Amino acid sequence: MSNSSIAFLFPGQGSQAVGMGKELAENHAVARQTFDEADEALGYKLSQLCFEGPEEKLKLTEITQPAILTASVAALRVLQKNELKPDYVAGHSLGEYSAHVAAGTLKFADAVRTVRNRGKYMQEAVPVGAGAMAAILGLTLGKVSEICRDAAQGEVCQPANINSPEQIVISGHAGAVERAMKLAQERGAKKAVSLPVSAPFHCALMQPAQDRLAHDLSVLAFQNPSCPVVCNVDAALITSAEAAREALIRQVTGSVKWDPSVRLLVEKGVSLFVEVGPGKVLWGLMRQIDRSKTCLTVGDEASLQKTLGQLTASHSAGER
User: CB of 224 within 8 A of CB of 163?
Assistant: no
Q: Which domains does the chain have, with CATH numbers?
A: 5-125+205-319 (3.40.366.10), 131-197 (3.30.70.250)
Q: Is 314 labeled as catalytic in the residue annotation?
A: no
pLDDT reported for residue 128: 86
pLDDT reported for residue 315: 66
Give me the catalytic one of 92, 98, 202, 303: 202
Q: Is 98 labeled as catalytic in the residue annotation?
A: no
Mean pLDDT confidence for 28-50: 98
Give me the catalytic one of 15, 93, 98, 303: 93
pLDDT reported for residue 319: 54
pLDDT tens-digit readout, 225-257: 999 999 999 999 999 999 999 999 999 999 999
- Rounded CA gap, 76 and 37, in Å? 15
Claim: this prediction has a pTM higher than 0.85:
yes
